[in-house]
Amino acid sequence: MTFPQDNGQASIENLRKIAKAHGFLMRPQDELGYLAIVRAAQQSVEFVDRMSDFVDPRLTPDVMAPVSVTRTYTLPSPSENPINAWSHRTHIKAPHIRDGAGSLAGKTVAIKDNTSVAGVPMTVGTQPFHLCKDIPAPIPDIDAPIVSRILKAGAVITGTSTCENYCMSAMSCTSAIGPVDNPWLRGYSAGGSSSGSAALIAINVATKWRKSRGLPVEYLGEGVEFATGGDQGGSIRVPAAYCGIYGLKPTHGLVPYTGIASLVPMIDHCGPMASSVRDTALFLAVLGGYDGFDPRMTPETPLRTIVPQYHVLLDEQIASRTMAGSWTPTTAARGLRIGILMEAFAIAGLDMEVASIIRRAASRFATLGAAVAEVSVPLHLVAPHIFTAATRAYMADTFLYRQGSSTASSLSFPFPGGSAPTPDQAWYDRMTISNPLVVGGLLSSEFLRDRSIYAESVRDKAIRHVHELRAAYDKALQEFDVLIMPATPTVAPRHMPMDMGVGGKAEFLLANTLNTMPFNITGHPALVMPVGLGQVEDRDGGEKAKLPVGMQVVGRRWDEQTIFLAAAAWEVGGLGLDEEEDKREGYKE
């Protein structure tokens, strides 16, 4: 049997090279048989490649006419977008939902710019032509399931929010369109990578706060009531902490990640961002539940028909305690067991004032009637190493959409459309200036995947330690209902100086995730809420200023309800942003 050696077809020479690379030689009498097997597989692949693409009808947008007609978008002008929180502006409503219907009726929502909104460019925060060869940014044909759910709930999507470059920064200075300013203090970080989402909510929060105190109000652009965030190491929770809003990283697999740009499936989370505990609970009820696509979901993921109505349950819990006379500043948290995670106060760079504010928040729980005690999870301080060993080797597969990526193609519904161009010198130069974590991610992924250096068993061991870490938190959560800790080591810092070296930039962009990233690999739900205002130390001219401090509340997997109850009970003693007595602080004079 002979085979023509057409260009592109498998050949015996190809197979000999593959065999040699794997440490064996084919016997001559076997070669034609193996070639036939490989060519049969190649024929099937080429047949499918010639087929028309398929997009599941469940992901197609609900529109009355073609998306190009019904969904238009604009790039906001600088005057419309003074803090750079908007990526694109639009106005999208579900055509078959009557006005006033749905749990989000008429509410404004921003979608993080790493999520498919049919007809609207998706940049993932990076420069033009990084994600597509032929157009500046892909324009999806599909709506991510979370987008469809938001529209069916009656909301209005008013735009996509700026996110960090490839979503690989916990600060807000790497986006291709420039830094996102903190609405509380211009020139300071809004956190990342869901920087625009947090800032757009905080526009309303900060404006209301200032007006209530008779302080000057600066025009910051149009904000929103709700926003989606993505979180692979703290990217919902860090911006929530810096911007004084509420952000929840749900249990892994509760909210579908289909149609959203991935880093590594193990750590991919999408969740709600809002301006109150109840609104966060309401938004989670809209977003959550099985979608039929996402492999991150498990048998524990509730079907859409049985997703807990978290806001209704919270209302019922408050009503029950109110009727019993226990929803008071001395009894609202009665029956709750609050664990103060000791190791979370031992992380590098923790500011003493931030630590003090979180401990004061813990004391309030005791005043409210909760049982409060310290708890130790020694592995918490090792978690960043486990996180890196478990995820880094395969991260470039997904965030760069590399051809030949087994990780990206294993997702149950990969993004429709073509492949991204291969990184080149211009790509390297741009990324080294704006976000060296991206180049570092590519280089470390390629190096760590070299099996001559690190066998696959090394990553296998890291995954087993992920389970060990999860079990350690689970054990603590058998004794306590929630664990509390600082969300970030400091209040929001100034934006990163762009003339810093690669090492300095990389450290700056991720140093604030030591208490958030562990829960991405273990999958525990974690809410960040404002509990005070902390002093900004590096202001010019000695001016006083304070910025929000966020507390992270971590619960058992699939038990977001107890987190919401604990957070709501804490606020019976007063809102965190009202803790500051000096009404002249928290803004630039």
State the catalytic residues: 112, 193, 235
Q: Are 351 and 534 in contact (CB under 8 A)?
A: yes
Residues 397 and 118: their CA atoms lie apart, in Å, by 24
| CA 165 – CA 142 distance, rounded (Å) | 22
Tokens coding 122: 């998706």
Residue given tokens 């390629």 in the structure block: 446
Number of residues that make up the chain: 589
Spatial CA neighbour of 163 closest among 397, 389, 390, 399: 399
Taking a C-beta distance cutoff of 8 angstroms, is the pair 175, 84 a contact?
A: yes
Which of 105, 108, 266, 245 is closest to 184 using CA atoms? 245
User: CA–CA separation, 572 vs 64, rounded Å?
Assistant: 46
CA distance 490 to 87: 27
Q: Omega of the bond prior to 193 within 30 degrees of 0, cis?
A: yes
The answer to whether 203 and 222 have CB atoms below 8 angstroms apart is: yes
Closest CA to 408 of 397, 419, 418, 400: 397
Is residue 146 within 8 Å of residue 112, measured between CB atoms? no
How does strand 482-486 pair with strand 546-555?
antiparallel
**Counting runs of H as helices and runs of E as strands, what totals does the chain give?**
17, 14
Q: What angle do CA 150, 156, 161 make, to 5 degrees?
A: 85
Task: Report the 10 Å Cβ neighbour count for 317.
Answer: 17
How many angstroms separate the CA atoms of 187 and 182, rounded?
7
Q: Strand order of the sheet with strand 371-375?
A: 73-74, 86-92, 156-161, 108-112, 226-231, 269-274, 246-249, 526-535, 546-555, 482-486, 337-341, 371-375
CA distance 294 to 256: 6
Q: Which residues contact 199 (CB under 8 A, 6 or more apart)?
A: 83, 85, 161, 162, 172, 180, 181, 182, 183, 190, 239, 243
- What contacts 388, CB < 8 A, 6 or more positions away? none
> 34-47 burial, b for 16+ CB within 10 Å, e for fewer?
bbeebeeeeeeeee
Pair of tokens at residue 421: 């161009």
Q: Is 449 strand, coil or helix? A: coil
Distance, in Å, from the CA atom of 369 to the CA atom of 571, rounded to the nearest integer, reads 13
Nearest Cα to Cα of residue 227 among 135, 131, 155: 155
Of 432, 164, 150, the C-alpha closest to 282 is: 150
